[in-house]
Structure 1
Amino acid sequence: MNIEKFIQRTEVLHKRLADLYQTANVLPWISQDLLPQAFKELYNTSKVVQLAAEELCQQNEELIETRNSLEAERQHYQELFEFAPDAYLVTNTEAIIQEANFTTAKLLNVSKQFLVGKPMINFVPLEERQHLRSELIQLSQSDRAKELLIRLQQRHGELFDAALTVAVVRNPQGKATSLRWVIRNINERKQGELAVVKNDSDLFYERPVDKHSKGETIPLNPLVILYVCQGLIKLSTYCETGEEVLIGLATTGMVFGSSLTSLNIYQATALSDVELVPIYAAEIATSPSLSHKLLPKINQRLRQTESFLVICGRRRVQERLHHLLELLKREVGETVPEGTRLSVRFTHEDIASACCTTRVTITRLMGKLQEEGIITFDLKKHIVLKNFD
């Protein structure tokens, strides 16, 4: 019922009851004792209804005012969303688009009304879709936003390099309900920059930093080269027998990535807590200063790989172990009063894989070196090299 009509009816009812009550009181042939008590209660009740109706009317006006205010605020933020300079969109947890602004439609070359209901994965090249799915699964288990470097494809258009910042929205129970995306065209950003890389700090200035804990396997994107800001990463592969083979170590200031190898199986494992900066390969191709800065680091990675290959080429296991310890001393050694301490604890299994031999053999040879006083171990079981020539 319309609230105004309800108010009018209560007023008419109250007036009629008032007239009837007054008439009954003045008629000379009706005794006051004959006036029903129920009639009096009905009159009093009608006054209560009228007061309640007036209060309801006031509350209704306040609700209308609040609703108008909220609608104006919603419209304000909707306009900010629609006309933002960056591409914004909202998807469900399966990356099905629920909302998208005009910038997104323009960037993806799709009419805005046709974006809703489309899977975000449709705008990703086939060869990169599995990588995006894996990243979204990891993101659903995290509470922080993450920036993904990936290629996107416009509808009936060309590929472009994009930076996707994705955040998870959760309900009060902590369950993921939707994803919020910000999409930036890296190509356009790079065309407008005159960046000059002067030192390593410029490599990760204003770039996202990926952090991984010790023992964690680091996901690799074939389109990205990872720069090590801090920590140590073990690079390995697997032979036909299923045994892991150590093929390199990426220390602070070095780069690595699956694009720098032809191996079908290439794994990166954090040997300590690490911080990595992803650098999109397309950026290197379009930035002479960036490629100039990264080229020596890529060469350093390749030279280290050759050193590991030389170790594997030695005929005697003792020689392989000797040269491996020399390499580790150079790469991760730190001077201590007792000699040179390897900053990372290597297991006999790690050393055996790099020397292409068995763990039992390495355990025997390491024991012999320890007996000869060539190596010792500190309290954390790190190898300390003493007078090792």
Structure 2
Amino acid sequence: MVDIIDKSTIDQFARKTQAMDQRIAKLYEKVLAMPVPPNSVPQALFELGSASQTVHHAIEELYQQNEQLEQVQEVLGAEYQRYEELFEEAPDSYLVTDAHGKIQLANHKAARLLNIDKNYLVGKAIVNFITLEERQYFRNFLSQLSQSGRNQELLIRLQRRNGELFNTALTVAPSYDNQGKIKELRWLIRGITESRRVELVHIKEECDFSDRPIHSYSKGDIIPLNPQIIWLVSQGFVKLTTLCESGEEVLVGLADQGMVFGSYMTSLNTYQAIAMSDTKLVSIYVSEIIDSPNVSHTLVPKLNHRLRQTESFLAVSGFRRVQDRIYYLLRLLKQEFGEKVGNETRLSVRLTHEDLANACCTTRVTITRLLCKLKHQGKISFDSKRHIIVKDID
């Protein structure tokens, strides 16, 4: 939030300016009273007068801008208060932590669930409320979360301040900064019964769709889309595109193994799926999400991820400079499809310059020039198969 200049500071500056005007006026009068022709008045005095007028205009603009900032901050303050009230009075337990699990915010419901005053929660590590037997498991979960960067669910036992143990289902959603690094983690905590915990574990272990028929497509094939069917990628890569008003193709998503796509998840009038390699897919009817808890539990996080990824791809065009668009896109691809190779990250999906241009709403020539520049700067390189290796794009 932009700092507002204290009005008394501007007033003080205005008074000093007025005093300066008076001194300039007296000096001008003295010069005119001297026995010299009027046209010989020093040019410096005229320049001082002009500079004084400029300062007065600047002061007036300061008053106006400060008033506007006060109004904006008043609106933002009201919005912040509203969201804070929603957070506090939410019917579920919520925590906000940093990337390492240190609690930054907690609502009243979470404090009651953990049987501890809300003020004492802030600053403590969430792992302190995990049972001793499962702490290492939880630390491994946090580590994997920072690598995958996706929403995750975890069934684990928590321990209240009085030592009482209870089963919970944790849902955690990462939030990112402008460099694509995890800024904070947002936790939803739900207490569950032992029978429900066993049921959820059973669901997670059973639903893998491996017994379903496989639909195979070759590189370049257009995959048919049925609004009643969701495709699950078993192998390969799929490119998802739409058309803008000018008729140019726009890249709005990519799907690799374990990801889903389909026209059911979009309201775009034109939506096309193209196999980027030899691809194997599994079909799932939309009605199964409603009819089967197993299917619903497995697919809902995947559907959410598809929608978030599409939003991220569309956000690329929101940057004014093409250079910022390609930076954002490479960070997004690194997060979604990056494979660690030593200290560098290789993008598992191979995109052509045309694909990158479509994602950035620019020309292939511009993308080629920017990629050459990034390569020359040592920020990216290419392997033998022309996959981009991201070195330093933060």
| Structure 2 length-normalised TM | 0.47
Larger Rg: 1
| Structure 1 length-normalised TM | 0.48
